[in-house]
Amino acid sequence: MAKEKEDNSLSRRRFLELMLATSAGLAFFPQGASLTTRGGRDTARKVLVLGFDGLDPVLTSDLMKANRLPSFRKLASSGSFLPLGSSIPPQSPVAWANFITGTDPGGHAIFDFVHRDPKAYMPVFSASESLPGKHDICLGNLILPLSGGKINNLRRGRAFWQILEDNDIPATVFKIPSNYPPVESKQKTFSGMGTPDIKGYYGLFNFYTNEYKTITEEYGGGGRVHDVYVIGHRVESRIPGPNNPFKKGNPETYVDFKVFIDPVYPAAKIAYQDQEFILKEKEWSGWKKIKFDFIPGQRVSGLCLFYLKEARPKFKLYVSPINIDPAAPAMPLSTPDNYSKELARKFGPFFTKGLPADTAALENEVLDENEFLAQDELVYKESVAILEDELKNFRSGLLFYYFSNTDQRQHMFYRFLDKNHPAYDEKLAAEFAPVIPRTYEEMDKVLQMCLEKVDRQTAIIVMSDHGFNPFRWGFNLNTWLLQTGYHYLLPGSRPEEVTLFQRTDWSRTKAYGVGLNALYLNLKGRESQGIVAPSEREALTRRLANQLEQLIDPKTGEKIILKAYIGRDVYHGPYVDLAPDIILGFNRNYRISWNSPLGSFPRELIEDNRQKWSGDHMSSPTVIPGSLISSLPVKLSDPTLQDVTAGLLSLFGIKIPPEVTGRPIF
């Protein structure tokens, strides 16, 4: 049996425990009766929206000029190609929520990937929350739940497809971010970014090896290393599954498996439950179902990929994060409930985890660049196949379809386009610099397929939530607050050893940073140990914003923060009071550091980013707008995400609701 080894970092482990306890209600997520889609009226015009996450307008323009994106050029020549104003901050869950609701974060309450609990000063995920079921009867070590757990979508405001539904206009919305769990609707929707794996993580892979290896977990994902022993060409271990809500302490479930290594050829047979299959070295398995038992009659089905990285001399087996099975979803994936099952019947298993590409495995060198790309190519092919099928059935209304490949590959491969990046490797760049341009070409092929399959009554919109820039240097916000006297630690503390504000002296602290762009005041009456009086709030906020905007990197002579936005100035709507006091709009090449978002205080104020995650989009939105390419002329010279929402509604003759702040673009 394997001896499991995990990252024991207090900050990461507590972060995950606090933020990812979704499996408490897993077994009893109420499935309910299958809904039927609202009939919807035939519309004279159809609208197809392709969401290419992170499609950068500068790179797109350059590739169009080089004639590498002929379909993009064709679409733009018939209509418009413009930069698309992103959200403040230009993070994917925030930006896509702007588009979904037609409002800024003050209207939808998503301000960052990570929010904070003002009572405990702890980070919490912004997009969804899981509430455990009520427990009624205890029989020894067993618990019989009285009611099932519940998962809530924390995005507020009405989605544009709900407004379309009110007007009897059909819509299909596939994998749009910031919609997990899917909001109530009779439209066909499938959840996207924010959808966890079966354990409730953003993605937790397993790696089995007899070679020493450590793993770093970050922001709700990562992996586990399991030490194994090869005895007589045989390996035994287990695959961890969701926690068991029927047993005291919610212990982790698992499935035992065995590996039989061929004594001659670089291959192995893997056996678990009722499955046996052979993998050659460097071969992917394709989707495999795996079932975790809670108690008799209660089990959960998941999907995973196996990859035999090496059979010998060292044994290395990768098992992907376990995706929710769309054929038997243990957590909500779609509206109506049977939409995910219908897709599973047509296409078999497919990726359901919100961010399917395993960036953590590449970051930790469990997968190399080619192996990562092979996995992400599976994501692309699945996406194209399902889109092609949706186009066949697209007869009326609106179809929105999302691709993650542009975003994930730019995050991981930007270092090969930037010779000044701390992680630039000339040898690797010779092989992998073409990855990002080729990815844009793949998106062009998607558009080409759509142009060939839709009719002349279909308006086509290509859009992205933000652009991209290099992430060369990380700024430690909490270190700066400590150095400038806005944050205090208890006497005897060693700042570089502090995590999750565990040594913060809140009786003297005026400000703290949580999340990727957010700064909060320790406000009296809002934070549990607040000391900043409401009468001081305005002056302190503006002083901090001014100081942050004056910060200069002594190594480069460049400003670190281009604009420090004051939440109450830039947001509008009923949820402004929940916003961070200041939102950092970083300059090009800069981003928040890796440790500062979780209440740590690294020694250096500015750190080189030597990680493979080398491209990002946490800058001021003026630095990295998204892209808008439309078959229809756009009448605005400065469109924003909210304007596209208003434009979609106007194309169907719908009066723009007062809560939608966007301007119609057509």
Boundary residue ending a domain (266, 296, 324) = 324
Q: What is the pLDDT of residues 464-516, one digit of tens each?
A: 999 999 999 999 999 999 999 999 999 999 999 999 999 999 999 999 999 99
Domain that holds residue 580: 472-616
Cα Dmax for the chain: 77
8 Å CB contact between 586 and 466: no
Boundary residue ending a domain (277, 295, 324) = 324
Q: Residue 242 and residue 220: Cα distance in Å, rounded?
A: 15
What is the phi-psi region of residue 488: left when phi exceeds 0, alpha when psi lies from -120 to 50, beta otherwise? beta
pLDDT given at position 236: 98
Q: What are the two backbone dihedrals, phi and then psi, of residue 94, each rounded to the nearest 5 degrees?
A: -70, -50
Which two tokens mark 631?
A: 């078959």
pLDDT given at position 34: 31
Which two tokens mark 416?
A: 């090969």
> Quick check: is 333 in a domain?
no
Q: Residue 111 and residue 640: Cα distance in Å, rounded?
A: 17
Scored b (16 or more CB within 10 A) or e, 615-645 reads: bbbbbbbebbbbbbbbbbebebeebbbbbbb
Count the residues in the chain. 666
Q: Which residues pair with 235 in a beta bridge?
A: 259
Residue with tokens 């509430």: 131
Q: Residue 82 and residue 599: Cα distance in Å, rounded?
A: 39
Which residue in 272, 252, 270, 273 sits closest to 261, CA to CA? 270
pLDDT given at position 12: 43
Residue 492 is classified by DSSP as T
Residue 53: what residue type? D
Q: What's CA 433's distance to the chain center, in Å?
A: 24
Q: What are the two backbone dihedrals, phi and then psi, of residue 646, each rounded to the nearest 5 degrees?
A: -60, -35
Q: What is the pLDDT of residues 180-214, one digit of tens each?
A: 999 999 999 999 999 999 998 889 999 999 999 88
Q: How many CB atoms lie within 10 A of CB 17?
A: 9
8 Å CB contact between 400 and 171: yes
Q: What's CA 315's distance to the chain center, in Å?
A: 31
> Quick check: is 20 in a domain?
no
Give the mean model confidence (pLDDT) for residues 44-55.
Answer: 97
Q: What is the pLDDT of residues 131-186, one digit of tens each?
A: 776 655 565 665 555 556 688 999 999 999 999 999 999 999 999 999 999 999 99
What is the phi-psi region of residue 73: left when phi exceeds 0, alpha when psi lies from -120 to 50, beta otherwise? alpha
Boundary residue ending a domain (271, 306, 324) = 324
Task: Provide the mean pLDDT of the chain.
Answer: 91
593, 595, 598, 603 alpha-carbon torsion, rounded to 10°: -100
> Quick check: is 11 in a domain?
no
Q: Per-residue pLDDT for 259 more than 50?
A: yes
> Quick check: is 507 in a domain?
yes
Q: Grade residue 38 by pLDDT with cuts at 50, 70 and 90.
A: very low
- Domains in the chain, number: 2
Q: Grade residue 35 by pLDDT with cuts at 50, 70 and 90.
A: very low
Residue with tokens 């599954």: 241
Q: Per-residue pLDDT for 625 more than 90?
A: yes
Q: How many CB atoms lie within 10 A of CB 66?
A: 9
Residue 183 is classified by DSSP as P
> Quick check: is 5 in a domain?
no
Q: What's the whole-model pTM score?
A: 0.92
Helix (H, G, I), strand (E, B) or coil at 48: strand
Which residue in 212, 262, 274, 266 sits closest to 235, CA to CA? 262
8 Å CB contact between 298 and 27: yes
To which H or E segment does residue 335 belong?
A: strand 334-335
**Cis preceding linkage at 170, omega within 30:** no
Strands 469-475 and 606-608: antiparallel
pLDDT given at position 20: 41
Q: Per-residue pLDDT for 118 more than 70?
A: yes
Which residue in 245, 166, 55, 82 sits closest to 636, CA to CA? 82
pLDDT given at position 350: 97
pLDDT given at position 662: 95
8 Å CB contact between 81 and 59: no
8 Å CB contact between 453 and 48: no
Residue 420 is classified by DSSP as T
403, 303, 131, 342 alpha-carbon torsion, rounded to 10°: 70
Residue 434: what residue type? P
Q: What is the pLDDT of residues 305-324, one digit of tens each?
A: 999 999 999 999 999 999 99
Which two tokens mark 225?
A: 């290393």
pLDDT given at position 144: 56
> Quick check: is 287 in a domain?
yes
Q: Which residues pair with 512 in a beta bridge?
A: 520
Q: What is the pLDDT of residues 560-611, one digit of tens each?
A: 999 999 999 999 999 999 999 999 999 999 999 999 998 999 999 999 999 9
Q: Which residues pair with 511 in a beta bridge?
A: 521
Q: Per-residue pLDDT for 352 more than 90?
A: yes
pLDDT given at position 220: 56
Q: Per-residue pLDDT for 110 more than 60?
A: yes
Give the mean model confidence (pLDDT) for residues 90-103.
Answer: 98
Measured distance between the N- and C-terminal CA atoms of the chain, rounded to whole angstroms: 63
pLDDT given at position 246: 82
Q: Residue 469 and residue 471: Cα distance in Å, rounded?
A: 7
Q: Per-residue pLDDT for 14 more than 60?
A: no
Give the mean model confidence (pLDDT) for residues 368-387.
Answer: 98
> Quick check: is 467 in a domain?
no
Q: What angle do CA 407, 21, 29 make, to 5 degrees?
A: 95
**Cis preceding linkage at 313, omega within 30:** yes
Residue 527 is classified by DSSP as B
Q: What is the pLDDT of residues 506-531, one digit of tens each?
A: 999 999 999 999 999 999 999 999 99
> Quick check: is 587 in a domain?
yes
Q: Residue 400 and residue 545: Cα distance in Å, rounded?
A: 38
8 Å CB contact between 654 and 661: no
Helix (H, G, I), strand (E, B) or coil at 374: helix
Which residue in 39, 36, 34, 38 sits closest to 337, CA to CA? 34
Give the mean model confidence (pLDDT) for residues 616-640.
Answer: 97
Give the mean model confidence (pLDDT) for residues 384-391.
Answer: 98
Give the mean model confidence (pLDDT) for residues 390-398.
Answer: 96
Lowest mean pLDDT among 252-256, 280-284, 409-413, 595-599: 595-599
